[in-house]
Amino acid sequence: MKYRILGNTNEKLSAIGLGCMSMSSAYGTPDDKESIAALELAIDLGINFWDTADVYGNGVNEELLAPLLKSQRDKIFIATKFGFKSNPGEKGIQFDASPAYIKIAVEKSLKRLGVDEIDLYYAHRIDPNVPVEETVGAMAELVKEGKVRYLGLSEASTTSIKKAHAVHPISALQSEYSVLTRDVEQNVLPLTKELGISFVPFSPLARGLMTNTLDVSTLADGDFRKALPRYQQEYQDNNIRLAQGFAEIAAGKNSTAAQLALAWVLAQGDHIIPIPGTKKRKYLEQNAAAVDLELNTSDMAAIEALLAKYPNTGPRYNDDLNKLVDKD
């Protein structure tokens, strides 16, 4: 495994992290036995950067990681997030990044994870009802109290990042980024580089689309992707052809499509640390090997030409989810 430095710290994180959400929610049926085996393999592979959130399985995902955190604490840099919550009887997505709720959320995460201190604590989104300065100010208090080491934001705009960073150093900014989702390239990526903030792409494989192994028609009823435009019938032909072409480029590099997608993300900047999600050991091992795949200018040009040929990929979020993305 290769390593990259977290923000303006001395923390060495695996250049490929591990997104743990799919182990407990959103993508098919959980398989705890296989997930635990994958977590154990991650340690063996040197993947020390693990990402979870209190909302993943309503706390179940944090609890899943707890036994390994207890026995292998020095080998795992744990990141979790707060803000999303479900209130019985209320419809829609509820989000709360108020100082009062942060105090409650962090204690619950610490207990579920079985740790005294969270390595990286993210606000899962920017709360439109709470000034980001207040949110980060409350998060900074957790650092002073020794409950959190470093702070992060997720899906934040450049305006919010600047305001937050002025209150307390932000070590990581997490947003969706892949060959299909590139909104951050214009403003957010350059800003994180300038401020010394690590950029942590989630869904770097476009939720499976760029692996050339995803059959959208077979997705289970509870699969998160069924609610997203990009995975609907109207974009299916375009995206199948795109994924097939991408796999052909990968084959020319003696790699899988997933490895090519991860290598492309890694090549966009040395401050970028993607966190592909998986609950299967075979995919974890393949993902880890992507750190050794070098792309040249011809490879990059071929990828850009393919994307230009099949542009009708579809929006990444539906209207409800898009409302939660902080915009300048």
Q: Which three-class secondary structure string do you get for the chain?
A: CCEEECCCCCCEEECCCEECHHHCCCCCCCCHHHHHHHHHHHHHHCCCEEECCCCCCCCHHHHHHHHHHHHCHHHCEEEEEECEECCCCCCCCEECCCHHHHHHHHHHHHHHHCCCCEEEEEECCCCCCCCHHHHHHHHHHHHHCCCEEEEEEECCCHHHHHHHHHHCCEEEEEEECCCCCCHHHCCHHHHHHHHCCEEEEECCCHHHHHHCCCCHHHCCCCCHHHHCHHHCHHHHHHHHHHHHHHHHHHHHCCCCHHHHHHHHHHCCCCCECCCCECCCHHHHHHHHHHHHCCCCHHHHHHHHHHHHHCCCCCCCCCHHHHCCCCCC
Q: Which of 144, 142, 147 is nearest to 110 (CA)?
A: 147
Out of 56, 121, 177, 310, which one is annotated catalytic? 56
Within 10 angstroms of residue 150's Cβ, the number of other Cβ atoms is: 24
Is 56 part of the annotated catalytic residue set?
Answer: yes
Q: Residue 136 corresponds to which tokens in the numbers above?
A: 């980060």
The CA distances from residue 152 to 68, 76, 131, 143, 161, in Å, are 23, 17, 16, 12, 10
Residues classed as catalytic: 56
